[in-house]
Structures are given as C-alpha cells and as structure tokens.
Amino acid sequence: MDLLFAGLEQVFTVETLSLIAIGLIVGIIIGAIPGLNVPLAVAIALPITFKLSPIGGLAMLVGIYKGGTYGGSLSAVLINVPGTPAAAATALDGAALTRQGKAGKALRMSLYASIIAEVISDLALILFAVPVAAFALKIGPPETFSVGVFALTLVGVLSQGNMLKGVMAGALGLLLSTFGVDPLTGDFRLTLGFDALSGGWSFIALVIGVFAVAEALVKVERPLEKPMAMGTVRLSDPDHRLSRDDWRRSLPVITRSAPIGVLIGAIPGLGAAVSAYLNYGITRNLSKTPERFGQGAIEGVAAAESGNNAVTSATFVPLLTLGVPGDVITAIMLGAFIVHGLIPGPALFEQNSAFIAAFFVMVVVTTGLHLIIGRLGMPLFVQTTRISNKFLFPAIMVLSVTGVYVTTNSFFDVFTMLGFGLLGYFMIKCSFPVAPLLIGFILGPLIEIGLRQSVIMSRGSFDIFLTRPLSAAFLALAAVSVVIVGVREWRLARRNTPNPKTPEGD
C-alpha cells in the first residue's frame, strides 16, 4: 500500500503531469494527421526522454501512445481518412455519421469508447498482468496461425454483399505481404529485380496510399463540393449528442470488445488495427441488424474504438512481465526503460516494485487526462468539418508525402504510396472493399510464420494445429465465422436478385 502512495507521489508532480499532457496532445495531433504515425512519434520523442526522470520520460511516451491511438479516429471520423491504421475500422461508420451531420455523436462515442476500453486495459495490466502474461505465453506458432486465420475470416464479414471482390482484396493483401524477404529463411522473394523491394512493400506507404491518397483522388473529381458543415458547429445540438438508445446499443459492445482487445494486445504481433477490425467484425456478425453497419451504426464506432484502445495498456503486459515487447511501439519504449537502467521483465517486478507501482499509477492518470483533454478539444476538432476540400486535400497530400518520407527515408516508398493510392482509388470506384486488403497485408506474415514454424516443430505434420487446444479452438471459431458469413451472404443473394446470378456488386 505504501508503494501505491509512493507511486502517487511520483506521478502527481507538476513535471510528470505536464509531461503526460504534452505527450497526449502531441500524440493526438500526430495520430490525427494522416501521414504521421505513432511509432514514428515515439521513436523521435525517445531521445528527448533520456534527459527526463524515468517516470517522466515514460509518462510522455505513454501519453503519445494513447493519444496517438485515439487521434487517428479524429481524422477517420471527420474526413474519412484514418490518421493511423488502427482507426481504419472507425472510419467505416464514423465517417458515415459525419456525412449525416452527426459528427459529434461519432466523436463522443469514439472518445468514450476509447476511454472505457483504456480503463479496462489499465485494470488488466495492474490486476491481471500475470494471468494475461501466462495466456500470452501459450500463444505459440500454431496458435498464432489459428488466430490469424480466424481474424482473416473477417474478410468475409467486411465484404458482405461483395464477397468475391472482398476475398480477392484479401488474397491480394496476403500476396503483397510476401514480397521482399522470406521471414523464415532470410532469402529474397518476389523483389522483381528492385533492390528497394528487398524490404517488402512499406506498410505505412500502403496504409496512407490506400486511405489518404485514394480519398484525395476520389475527392479531386468534384472540386466544388461544399464542405460538410457551414457555420459554427454546435456540439450541444441533439444531432451531435449521444442518445440513450446509442448507449444502449454500444455499452454491451464495448464491454465485449475491450477484453478481446486486451487479449489481442497481449499477443505479440497482432496490434491495434487487427483488434479494431476483429471487434468490428464480431459485432457486425452478432448484430441482429447487420445492414446498418457502414451506414452510421454507432455501435460500429464503439466496437472499433474500444477494440483499438484496449490494446494500448495490454501491450505492456508482455513487456513488463516477460521482458518481451508486444509490438513496435513497446519495442521502442523498451529503449526508454533501458536507458534509465530499468530492465523490463520479471526482475523489475521484484527488484524495483516502487517503479512498477508508479508506472501503474501513471498509466491510469494518463487515461484520466486523456478523457479531459479529449473532451475539451472536441468542440475545436468538430469545426474541421467546415474546412473545404480545396485547402484540406492539398494539405493532406503534402502531409502524406512528408510523413511517408520521414518514416521510411526512401523515395521508392513514397512512390509506392502513390501507387497504392491509385490502387485504392480504383478499388473504391469498382466497389472492392479496402479493409480486406489491409487485413490481409497485416496478417500475412503472422499466418505464414505461424504455419511454417509449426510445421517445423511437428516435423512435417499438420496435426499440431488440432492437437493443441487453443489452436483448435481458434480454428473452430474461424469455421463458425465462415458459416455465419456464408449463410448471410446466401440470404442476401436470394433476396437481392431475381435471376440466379451472384449478388449485386454495386
């Protein structure tokens, strides 16, 4: 208990609190700007934290991390361009709400769902770190493969009505992820003679190209479109507030998505984007009114946002308990720990429990400040719907090029971004769902590595996927998912077409 008080003391100093606030604000801004992403911000802020106290430095980084994950949803909702990959699922319903003039609803739900999920995630870290870590340890190669396959079945959910095209997009995403280097042998693969491809397609170039650049290209067709809102947007209007009905739909979704997000966060390699899509997909699958999704279903926003923010604190579980970072961002933060002489892992819990206590307090305080700052900033954010395209999109393009260049230091990758922008543009015009492309690309390496490592472990037999219980469970879930999606698609087909052809694509 005194540890807790000592921790409180350390955190509630002006220095630490202002560092958290700065981190949050910087994070939100960077997350909101398409083209800049959170790992970049954390990597750049890292050296700055070397000079600060351990808790102070980490506080700033955690602030950037949480703020950044939330910030992406701002641009996703307001301009249909996710600021970070994790917010891509939020854009599906969030932007629709903005188009209906209900941006405030989407923003509020996005913030509140994020905060609730973060609280749950913080609690999981503080109270359940050890069992969650034990769970994470059980996820070996076969389970990684099975979880990946399960997540992949979401391709079906997200392409409801456009199944063939959705599956094609997913296959393309998977295929693209294999370019560059074989992750298991280190051999070059599909570099098509380009040196620069030997690292594979740049993920950030793909995300920004397919979302930001493609959207910019779509918008350039009609330059004189009016901005979405004229005159001051008043956040207190009923259209911008959450009704009881909204909460009734969303609260159960949040309470289901957050724990799932926590588990996903604890498994190294999956990440916030996967969690957001997975929860969105599950929510849609289980909903009695799936056709509302994509048209402004508030629970879609709730699912996606609670999914992605639940991941934030959970990724610290493997880092603190096992000394193994859960994703790119915690890997960077590992550096921050190390520089202050703190080596994350079981030793830290025993030898430096004062620091751990302070860390936990800091994480919770960050969530609290996040709520305050997010809510205060909202009236300001929502005014961006008044900016007309002629300023907005040139700026977005400049930012995108800048952001990709700063992250990758490669002109090839920036051109790649443009290429993916064109791909995304054509996909949008021809009704190919874009989400499966992204998911396929993210999950590809996971699935391949899991598959091939497992086969080596079992010396060539495929039994291992079924003999290990967790793996079998995930595969079963995947099968269930396919059945649900298949049945729904069948019903849609029967309902939509008088002639016995495949469902309406447009």
Partner 1 sequence: MGTGRRRPGGDTWIALGLIAANAVFLRDLFDTEPGGAYLKTTTLPIALSVSLTVLSVLLLGWSLLRPAAPQAEAAAEPVPGPPPAVRVLAATLLTAGYIAALPWFGYLMSSCAYFAAMSLLYGNRNPVSIVAVMVAVPLALMLFFEQYMIVLLPSAGLFE
Partner 2 sequence: MTSIRKILKTLAIVPVAMAMSLAAAQAAGYPSKPLTLIVTWPAGGSTDVIARLLAEPLGKELGQPVAVVNRKGGGGSLGTKAALDAPKDGYTVLMTTSGNHILTPLKKDVGYRYDDFVPIGQVVAATLALAVRADSPWKSLDDMIKDAKANPGKYNFGGVPFGMPHLTLNALATEAGVELVHIPMQGGAPGAKALLGGDIAMLPANASTVASNLKAGKMRALAVFNKERDPAFPDVPTAKEQGHPVYGSPFVGMAVAKGVPQEAVDRLRAALQKVANDPDFQAKAVKTATAITYLPADDFGAVWARDWNAYEPVLKKK
| Binding site residues, partner 2, CB under 8 A | 39-40, 43, 46-47, 50, 136-141, 180-181, 183-188, 195-196, 198-200, 268-269, 318, 322-325, 328-329, 331-335, 338-341, 343-351, 408-410, 449, 452-453, 456-457, 459
Rounded least distance, CB 220 to partner 1, Å: 5
Q: What is the C-alpha separation between 214 and 308, in angstroms, rounded?
A: 23
Burial class of residue 322, CB neighbours in 10 A (0-12, 13-18, 19+): middle
352 or 458: whose CB is closer to partner 1? 458
Q: State the DSSP H helix or E strand holding residue 134, giving kind and residue range, or none if neither.
A: helix 103-138
**191: helix, coil or strand?**
coil
140 or 419: whose CB is closer to partner 2? 140
Rounded least distance, CB 162 to partner 1, Å: 10
Within 13 Å of residue 81, how many CA atoms lie on the same side as its CB? Answer: 32
Residue 252 binds which entry of partner 2, partner 1, none, CB below 5-8 Å type-dependent: none
Rounded least distance, CB 118 to partner 2, Å: 22
Contacts of 218 (CB under 8 A, 6+ apart): 425, 428, 429
User: In the set 3, 8, 190, 251, which binds partner 1 (CB under 8 A)?
Assistant: 190
> With b meaning 16 or more CB within 10 Å and e meaning fewer, what string describes 266-303?
bbbbbbbbbbbbbbbbbbbbebeebebbbebbbbbbbb
Does 230 engage in binding with partner 1 (CB under 8 A)?
no
Q: What is the C-alpha separation between 123 and 76, in angstroms, rounded?
A: 28
1 or 224: whose CB is closer to partner 1? 224
**48: helix, coil or strand?**
helix
Does 375 engage in binding with partner 1 (CB under 8 A)?
no
Does 451 engage in binding with partner 1 (CB under 8 A)?
yes
CB 277 within 8 A of CB 151: yes
The token duo for 22 is 């700065």
CB 287 within 8 A of CB 299: yes
Does 372 engage in binding with partner 1 (CB under 8 A)?
no
Does 197 engage in binding with partner 1 (CB under 8 A)?
no
Residue 136 binds which entry of partner 1, partner 2, none, CB below 5-8 Å type-dependent: partner 2
**Interacting span for partner 1 (CB under 8 A) from 228-236, 258-266, 345-353, 417-425:** 417-425
Q: What is the C-alpha separation between 226 and 66, in angstroms, rounded?
A: 33
Q: What is the C-alpha separation between 480 and 276, in angstroms, rounded?
A: 20
Interface with partner 1 (CB under 8 A): 44, 164-165, 167-168, 171-172, 174-175, 178, 182, 184-185, 187, 189-190, 192, 213, 216-217, 219-224, 389-391, 393-395, 397-399, 401-402, 405-406, 411, 414-415, 418, 421-422, 425-426, 428-432, 448, 451-452, 455-456, 460, 499, 501-502, 505-506
